[in-house]
Every structure is written in C-alpha cells, then in structure tokens.
Structure 1
C-alpha cells in the first residue's frame, strides 16, 4: 500500500483558514492578498472568471503547459469549486439547490509571503476556548429512499441512458460554537491527501479527501480516480481485488478520465500509469488508478477545469447523461462535496476531489457520501457503503477537536 503524506493542515493568521495544497515551507508566512467568490446565481462563466482572477493576480494560468517557469511575488492561491459550479462550466444540469447556500460555489484566495503572519499563541488559545457542540444528524433521505434512488439508477442503465451513475446522499446537524476545530479534526483523518480547511464570512469547508481531481506538475496533467470500496481488513482487500463488478466499474471511469484528458492533451500522450491499486483511507480500502497526459499548448485553467469538472468518479458515464440522472434523483444539491479544493501556485496545480468533505454554515454542519451504481449494484450494499464512508467524518466532527 502506498502512503500519501497530507498536503497540509496548518493554521493561517486571518482567524479562518487552513490551506490544503500550499507548500509546507510557507507555514506561518502567508497573508491573504485578494479573494474571489462566485455563486451559482451570479452571472458569467465561473471557469473563465476564475482564470482571469488568478492571472490578474500574477499566477501563470493562461497556459498550464508552461506552469513551473513563472516567478511571482504571490505564493499561490487556495481554490474551491463546487459540484454545481463544475456542472455550470460544461452547461450541464446543476442539480437541486445546495442545503448550505451560505457557502460560495467558487472561491479563490491569493496569498503572499509575510513573515509577520504567524498567529500568536494567545490567538491560538482563544480559538481553543470556543465550545463546540454538535446536535443530532438529520438525513435528507431515508435508507429506503436511498435504496430507491439506486434502483432508479439501475433502471436508467437498463434503458441505456447511462452505463454508470453516482448517487450521493446528504446529512446535516445543528451546531454551536466554533466549527474550525471540528473541521480540523476531520481534515486530520488518516489517508487524506487533500487535508485542510477553507473558510470565509459565515462558512467553512473541511476536507479529508484521498482523491486527486487534477494535478499539473512537471509538464504533465494527472488525475487519480477512486472507485471500489471495502473494509480495511485482509478479507476486504481480497474481496476488492477479486470483485469483477468493482473492476468493471473502476475501468469504466478510467476510460472516462482518459477521454476527459484527451480533450486537452497532446496527441498520443494520454496514458494509464497505474491501474486498480488499493490504498487505504481510514478504515476502508479503496481502488485507485493514475491517468496522465501532456497538456496541449495554449490550454489555460478554464479549459482544464471544463475537461475534468465535475469529476467522473462522482458523476458517471457518459458524464452529461449521468448529471441529468443525478439532478433528477438526489433530493438536495451536492453543495461543497464532489467538487474541487486545493492549491494553484507558480509551479503547479493540485486540486483534490471534495469527497470526505463537510461544510459549516448558518448554524448547521453538512456532509455527503455515496457511490457509483452499475447494473450489478445491490441497493442495500450501496446504502451501507455510503454510511461506511460517512462514519469517520461523523466521528471526527463529534469530537470537535
């Protein structure tokens, strides 16, 4: 099993933000310089608006093939894109309204180095004093309704509308106190490659995702789709390796990701570097592959995001058809989940897929979990899998520290 070290879980001075993806050498030296927020009700193309904002702040995002050679006073930017914003980027159905409307759909926070930025011990101690209490969880659908959605997905597959579709459930709970320690606890879950918190006025997102949506580094684009889950036991490992159903579902998404990258790649450069490798997240085994490509000249951040958003492993195949099914089936929007969160710097782009993610806003904390449905899916097993994915998040949020 390969182990990923968490990208970062560190505190910044503006009373709000842990940045996932920023270089560890920047600890205690970042100060917010500029911020962009966009909501689904706002005009404009979110992909192009985001590219324009970051380029205007000195980041080399007009041509990702050349990223790595630029020098800028800006250290980089934390970037978040919701699933709804990703769907808007490709003119797909955005689904039901988010249950956490206080959270923006696109956020970019640009940082510069400032040695005076380290928070004082007094400030850190004050944060720890704020009591956190979490109320009872309320699901947006019952287990029976979730199972019914699985059967609807199977019916769509039987009609030939889709080959696979991801079905995601949502739950929320009231809270009092400061949500940041609880979200930090979530971000510290073992196996999280994208570990951190992003916050703004009245909202915060905590991420413990193991999955790469898109990374650009060393002249190549990478995506690392995850499909296939079992308990992290010896028996679970054997079962996941032997499951024809899980392999078929996984390879379907690998093919989708190959096609996504081919739209923005140099001809003949798309390859599968790893196929169906098991990695551990908390108490679960998950199957991951690595797909990469060399970007074609002139591909900017907007085109990159339109190619990969929303992530294929949380939509299905074909992607547009799956998004139509998702919009019809799921009772609430995906909010902060199933989108992207990470870092864009002068020398790389690294955005994780916001699975294993929670959001706090308007006095409630929200989380989402689900799984991919194929014709051979068992509804009861799919409901249980979603619960297993959500359980470590619920436990972490319950501790609040």
Structure 2
C-alpha cells in the first residue's frame, strides 16, 4: 500500500514519442496504464515507494538479479514494462545528500514512473493525438491554447549565469580542491527560452540526435522531458549490473581525438569518476567483485568525442530497485568525488536547480533494467524550454575551457529545439 504523498494516476496521458530506453520491439505499441508521482517534500522514501508501485504492477523490482518473463498479463493487457524518471534532487534525497537550488520546472515530479501494456488500438507514438498539448476528451489540459496549435517558435535563451560567473564558479571549485574539501565537482548551468506552439516535433528532434543511446520522450500533464543521453547510469541484465561513466569531451575531429587521448587532466578526471562508480556498485549488498571492463574508450556523440568506461559486477539476486537507486543516484559523473561533499559544493554554487537534468531516465522490463543519465536533456513546462550543461572540475581545470565545453555540449540540443541540426 502506497503511503501518503505518493500519487498514482490510473489514467495517465498517452506517450508523445518513444519512451527513453524502451525496447525497439515495443515501438508504437505503448498504452499507458498507470503512473506514479513523487515531489520533493512528499513524505516517505521515494526509492521504496516507486519500487512498491512497480512491484504492485507485476515488475520484478524486488529481485533484480533474477531474470523474469518478458511479458506478464495484469488486468486488461500484457504489461511490457515501465518508464522511470528520477530527478537530481530525488537522487540527492536517496543518497542522503544536500539538495541544491530550486528547480526551474517545479511542476515536473521528482520521481515519475509509467507502467505500459501492449495494446492493438494504441496510436503510433509519432502521432501527437492524445499528448498534453493535444489532449483527448479523457485528458483535458489547461495548457491547451486552442484546437489549432500555433506554429512552433522558440524565443531567445536566458542563462542562469554569465560566462564570467561560470568561470568564477570553476575557480571556487579549484579553491575547494586546494583546501582538500573535495577532489572533483561537476558544476552545471541552466538556460531557458520561451516558446509558442506544439513542442512535440522539437522534442522528438532532440531525442533523435546522433549517439542518443536513450533517445526518447516522457510526458505528463502539461510537461515533457526529451533526452538524447549517451550515458548509462545503470543497467541490469542477465544477473549483471553495469555503469558506463562518461568524462572528457572534445570536438569530433582527428585533432580533437588526439587531444582527448593525450590529455593528462581529462584522463585523471575520468579515472577518479571510474573509481567512484566502482565504489557505488560495491555498496550493493552481496554484489561483486567489481571490475573495469573498458577504460577511457573514445566514442562520438553528435559532433563530440567523449571518453567512456565500462564498470560492472555480478549482482546478488536479492538486490532490489530501492537498493540500486540509493547506491547509484545521483550519478558520480555529474556530482563529483566524494559524492556527498561534491553535493555540498553544487548546492552552494549553482544559482538554478538541476531540475530534470543530471538524474535518471530509462526503462524497467521484466527481464532487465536500463537507466540513462539525464545529460543532453531538455524539459518543457507549457511556456518555456529548459536545458542544462556543465562539466567536471579538477585542480587543473581551465575556467575558460570549461565554459566552452559546456556550450559545446548544449549546442546540439539547442539547435535541435530550434529546428536545425
């Protein structure tokens, strides 16, 4: 039985795009059955509450190390799986860390899960009928401007800090590292722009960016999240738990690849986060040994080279979803090391909350779990589009270079929103 504060909607909105991380075989077959919402300030443990909700809907989240059936029938259809979203703030709550500045999208829940069944009558997820901006009669929305949507138009961006303020924050992190307070801190900036018209096509352009391992859209009443994330926060499959931290970015040119591979600073920063992720997985009860399967592999995402490692361990069959979320959230590659000390610095430095960014978003099926880290992610809330980007700061970081790197990361997302490539 869910406790007070947790909200379950038994008539959630249909999807407006492929849910992030959903299996390809489920494409255009998703029918939303029920949804769970938890907001910061609600009572009780969000990790336990969402696990209880998913277990009540037939998903094997109490014992992730065991492989279940691919589908399970409950009520009026085959349950194929669920979308799960966890905000950066909810991750901090689960880790016992400090919560940062107020989210610029407070209407979006901090934990949101939608259970889907397969149905023959569901409209293709590329069809906009039934989404929050084109509601069906069963799902009226106050945000619906008219029966005929306005053309999509995105206004100018408003930044959470200037380039000089961003650079000053980098210097403050370097000073904290010099004092021995932290080893590394990931700092993130935010930008927002007003919009008019139907955001659905723009969100799907974001989700379709090259290299988007978790490309997809998750929507609620009057809001939506689109991600082009390439980074695996945590995957569980066939009794093994995997995380793939990304740290280190350069332009996707031959010179950029050589520079990334030859950067002592980037490699040191990357290895530090790999060690943190190893420690996170080792915290899971009965799990191990933890090993690094691949270290500092260079891969491409939408015009950028990025360094990625693969860390994995055999998962004890008794480990549940709540244990897993508390161990890995928020992701080490977007917090820093030590994680709790880094969260303290983040809360002190970032003027705008991380909102939907730097959290978790993906898919839970009967036989696997696959959650991406919500980098390269955008949110819309009925009037404004929101993006975030940042980078890991070490003692050797160059403030100007860090500002440029953040701009490079957010560039493809902003271009996709506006309509370009």
TM-score calculated relative to the size of structure 1: 0.93
1:365 aligns with 2:370: no
Q: Which has the higher helix share?
A: 1
SS at match of 1:303: helix
SS at match of 1:116: coil
Tell me, in whole angstroms, the C-alpha distance in 1 between the residues paired with 2:128 and 2:207.
Answer: 21
Contact 1:102-1:362 within 8 A present in 2 as well: no
Tell me, in whole angstroms, the C-alpha distance in 2 between the residues paired with 1:396 and 1:86.
Answer: 28
Tell me, in whole angstroms, the C-alpha distance in 1 between the residues paired with 2:208 and 2:92.
Answer: 29
**Which aligned pairs between 1:130-279 and structure 2 lie closer than 5 A?**
130-264=150-284, 266=286, 268-279=288-299
Tell me, in whole angstroms, the C-alpha distance in 1 between the residues paired with 2:257 and 2:332.
Answer: 24
SS at match of 1:391: helix
Give the gaps of 5 or more residues in structure 2. Answer: 1-11, 74-78, 135-147
**1:268–1:25: structure 2 CA closer, same or farther, 3 Å change rule?**
closer
Within the candidate set 72, 95, 103, 2:100 is matched to 95
Within the candidate set 325, 333, 348, 1:313 is matched to 333
**1:59–1:36: structure 2 CA closer, same or farther, 3 Å change rule?**
same
User: Bigger shift: 311-320 or 122-131?
Assistant: 122-131
**1:269–1:101: structure 2 CA closer, same or farther, 3 Å change rule?**
same
Aligned to 1:23: 23
Cα shift at 1:269: 2.1
Contact 1:266-1:293 within 8 A present in 2 as well: no
Contact 1:13-1:117 within 8 A present in 2 as well: no
Contact 2:378-2:387 within 8 A present in 1 as well: yes
Aligned to 1:81: 86
**1:72-97 deviation digits (Å, cap 9, x = unpaired):** 12110011000000001122111011
Aligned to 1:325: 345
Cα shift at 1:203: 0.5
Tell me, in whole angstroms, the C-alpha distance in 2 between the residues paired with 1:378 and 1:313.
Answer: 19
TM-score calculated relative to the size of structure 2: 0.89
Within the candidate set 280, 290, 306, 1:286 is matched to 306
SS at match of 1:385: helix
Q: How many residues align?
A: 390
SS at match of 2:58: coil
Tell me, in whole angstroms, the C-alpha distance in 2 between the residues paired with 1:381 and 1:107.
Answer: 36
Cα shift at 1:345: 0.5
Cα shift at 1:28: 2.5
